[in-house]
Structure 1
Amino acid sequence: MTAPRTVLLTGAAGGVGTLMRALLPPYGYRLRLFDQRPVDGEPDAITAELADTEALREAMDGVDAIVHLAGISLEAPFEKILRANIEGTYRLYEAARAAGVRRVVFASSNHAVGFTPRPADGSGAIPVGTPRRPDTYYGLSKGFGEDLASLYWDLHGIETVSVRIGSCCPEPTSVRMLSIWLSPADCARLLDAALTAPGVGHTVVYGSSANTRLWWDLSTARALGYTPRDDSEPYAAELIAAQGALDPGNPAHARLGGSFCTDPPRWPH
């Protein structure tokens, strides 16, 4: 696939979107920005909800690919998750189909498999093919997005890389994040690989840096050409001294989804 030049970035005003607005253009992309909130310093950004069919049609015009970061990124009442993450993602794919856009990078989440037990030895052994075990309505919506991407590949030939993002932020802020941290620079590397790799069909990858304490298998991401360069380990000593080591007896430490698994009545059964 020829490297796309114009990329629609949804969720451009959000945390990851703000980081990628600065880090993706050096890879040669022109970004068209879309968010329900105004994007600071970007007067040409499209301000609309994903439910706005006309705004989505306008956003898709002349676009080579989409990086879909928009949606609610934490747990919320099901009705809100339904509108933003489930119906919104469906509307995005329908607009892409109508416009002839053939590549999407979908921001999935580790919370799609959040109830999966973490590797006790930090072996990084959890494969992408592990059964989905969403920890929240939010995680459930990400599983829906992955399945929707698969459907649109099979029905309409729209290729998608679904990236199960860990925690993308300038530096890890908890001991759990030492295992799932995705540095902003590595996030841009991964998105670039996902946008340019040939023949992806529908591919699911985990999104994290090359962390010493990594919990999951990055082989499908590496197969796209992703070469992570960062590691959370330089932050480990300070975080562990301040917060203590992970306790396997603590439900928030025992599962991939962390505290997303612990809110009553989810735990214990």
Structure 2
Amino acid sequence: MRRLLITGAGGGLGRAMRNRLASMAETLRLSDIVDLGEAGPNEEIVTCDLGDAEAVHRLVEGCDAILHLGGISVEDKFSKILNANLLGLYNLYEAARAHGKPRILFASSNHTVGFYRQDEHLDVTDPMKPDGLYGVSKCFGEALARMYFEKFGQETAIVRIGSCMEKPTNYRMLSTWMSYDDFTDLIGCVFRAPMLCCPVIWGVSDNNSRWWDNSAASFLGWRPKDNAERFRAELEATVPRPDPDAPIAKYQGGQFTQDPIFSEN
């Protein structure tokens, strides 16, 4: 493709994808509200608050595809979540509609289903059970993406990311972990697919103890190769097992099910 936009390029996942996706497009347009450093040989850097509709329209113009990682990624004050995850996402979809409807990969979250127990196995038809305001914002995002597809034909891959990082750091992540390499492969499958529509995809590697059934997205040809099981021995040697009744051991959303709602005061 000619130009791939990555929002949230200054976050942990955005930084990890920056180099991995360099060959996927002639130009990477990187955006965030934080300092992204110097632009690389095939990079454009654009500072943009997703809550600013005019700025988002300028950001999306000329892009062939969008990897949307931007927004608040933890539980926070509703005003912050409102601006970045609700208003910001609406601005992004309106900008996409105005500029040729480039295909979008929307980084949703496992926190849309965080109140399911860890002994439950889910597919994409199971009802949402968000575990906080952050999870609710991702439920909104999934509904918005679906509406823009049904009403305007805007294609989106809704990826419910588990725990995408270098390696699992707790026992819950033995089920939720997605490797950077597997996510990179998924991004490629999403943007190469002849037809996408608006699928929900569990963003998880081929872990032995995963809770989520991805068979509905098999048409993409994505076959994750990594498995968190190879980190089990390291975790068992270095990380104490949590109490069985602790949120991190009981619920799929882990600690998010217990995190407080932040006061606006």
TM-score by length of 1: 0.90
Deviation of residue 214 (structure 1)? 1.2
In structure 2, what is the equivalent of residue 6 of structure 1? 3
Figure out how many residues of one structure are paired with residues of the other and give that number: 258
**Preserved CA contact (<8 Å) 1:101 1:158:** yes
Deviation at 1:230, TM superposition (A): 0.9
Instruction: Give me the whole-angstrom Cα distance separating, in 2, the residues matched to 1:198 and 1:131.
Output: 29
The yes-or-no answer on 1:26 pairing with 2:5 is: no
Q: Deviations over 1:137-169 (max 9, x none)?
A: 000000000000000001111000100001111
Counterpart of 1:37?
34
Give the conservation status (yes or no) of the 8 Å contact 2:48–2:59. Answer: no
- 1:264, distance to aligned residue in structure 2 (A): 5.2
| 2:75–2:259 Cα contact (<8 Å) kept | no
Match of 1:177 among 140, 165, 173: 173
Alignment of structure 1 residues 137-148 onto 2, 5 Å: 137-148=133-144
Partner residue of 1:168?
Answer: 164
> Contact 1:116–1:256 (CA<8 Å) still a contact in 2?
yes
Q: Given residue 57 of structure 1, which amino acid in structure 2 is its aligned partner?
A: H
Q: Percent identity?
A: 45
**1:248 positional shift:** 3.8
Task: Extract unaligned runs of 5+ from structure 2.
Answer: none
Q: Indicate the residue corresponding to 2:115 in structure 1.
A: 115
Structure 1 residue 221: Cα displacement = 3.7
Tell me which stretches of 4 or more aligned residues in structure 1 moved more than 6 Å.
none
Of 206, 210, 220 in structure 1, the residue corresponding to residue 216 of structure 2 is 220
TM-aligned CA distance change 1:129 to 1:248, over 3 Å: farther
Q: Aligned to 1:194, which of 190, 194, 201?
A: 190
Between stretches 235-244 and 138-147, larger displacement belongs to 235-244
Deviation of 1:175 after TM superposition, in Å, equals 1.1
Moved more, 45-54 or 219-228: 219-228
Residue type of the partner of 1:18? R
Q: Deviations over 1:171-222 (max 9, x none)?
A: 1111111111111111111111122223221110100111122121122343
State the TM-score, normalized to the length of structure 2.
Answer: 0.91
The aligned amino acid for 2:97 is R
In structure 1, stretches of 5+ residues that fail to align are: none
- Call closer, same or farther: CA 1:29–1:220 in 2, change over 3 Å: farther
Give the alignment partner of residue 229 of structure 2, picking from 223, 228, 233. Answer: 233
Counterpart-to-counterpart distance in 2, 1:138 and 1:29: 34
CA distance in 2, matches of 1:247, 1:27: 44
Q: Report if aligned partners of 1:63, 1:101 keep a CA contact under 8 Å in 2.
A: no
Residue 45 of structure 1: SS of its match in structure 2?
strand
Correspondence for 2:151: 155
Distance 1:225 1:30, change over 3 A: farther
- Partner in structure 2 of residue 209 of structure 1: 205
Tell me, yes or no, if the aligned pair for 1:181 and 1:211 is still in contact at 8 Å. Answer: yes
Contact 1:13–1:40 (CA<8 Å) still a contact in 2? no
Match of 2:199, SS? strand
Do the aligned partners of 1:176 and 1:246 also contact (CA within 8 Å) in 2?
no
